[in-house]
Amino acid sequence: MRMSAAKLVGALVVGGLMLGSTGCGAVDAATGGKKSTACKNIESELRTFSTSASVTSPDGASTAAQKFTDTAAKVRSEGQNAGGDVETAATAFAGDLDKSAEMLRKLSSGDFSSAGQPNTADLQQHGNDLADACGFSGFRLGG
């Protein structure tokens, strides 16, 4: 059974990416606030993404793909600003978003054979790793 682009995006972001920030902890004090700022920016970006990355029509898949790509770039950049475990986790999570965007692009162009399936397990694991690195509580992917 083939999954429509709308159902695919829905499956990836059902319930959204919900983050409840508790700050980045005492380690951040030693880094001059870069980690805290980066984590707050990542949280903000993911909140925006979770409310905007939906597809209401098959044509919307390419728009959603661009949102995935843009979010991945911002998460990756903020991770680089933070460094350390945040950078590692942000890079992995951004890579998952990029893979999802590529899959959506293929689906929107009618390429169902090579689009593949989303790896939601990796997306969730890397999202949880990012939540741990930033000290987010209540992180959840999906419903």
Residue 2, Ramachandran bin (φ over 0: left; ψ between -120 and 50: alpha; else beta): beta
Answer whether residue 18 is part of any domain: no
* pLDDT at 58 (0 to 100): 58
Answer whether residue 104 is part of any domain: yes
Residue 59: C-alpha distances to residues 4, 5, 96, 110, 141 (Å):
11, 9, 22, 11, 25
Beta bridge partners of 18: 140
Answer whether residue 113 is part of any domain: yes
Does the predicted TM-score (pTM) go above 0.85? no
Which residue's structure tokens are 């692009």?
A: 105
* pLDDT at 20 (0 to 100): 36
* pLDDT exceeds 90 at position 38: yes
Q: What is the mean pLDDT of the chain?
A: 77
Answer whether residue 82 is part of any domain: yes
CA torsion, points 98, 104, 109, 111, in degrees to nearest 10?
A: 90
User: What tokens were used for 67?
Assistant: 């949102």
Q: Which residue has the higher pLDDT, 126 or 15?
A: 126
Q: Supply the range of the domain harboring residue 117.
A: 56-137
Summarised one tens digit per residue, pLDDT across range 92-140 is 999 999 999 998 888 888 887 877 777 888 988 999 999 999 988 655 5
**Phi and psi angles of residue 113, each rounded to the nearest 5 degrees, phi first:** -75, -35
* pLDDT at 139 (0 to 100): 55
Answer whether residue 81 is part of any domain: yes
Answer whether residue 87 is part of any domain: yes
* pLDDT at 45 (0 to 100): 92
Provide the pairing of β-strand 17-21 with 136-141: antiparallel
Domain tally for the chain? 1
* pLDDT at 76 (0 to 100): 98
DSSP string, 87-136: HHHHHHHHHHHHHHHHHHHHHHTT--SSS----HHHHHHHHHHHHHHHTE
**Segment among 23-32, 59-68, 119-128 with least mean pLDDT:** 23-32
Answer whether residue 116 is part of any domain: yes
Answer whether residue 70 is part of any domain: yes
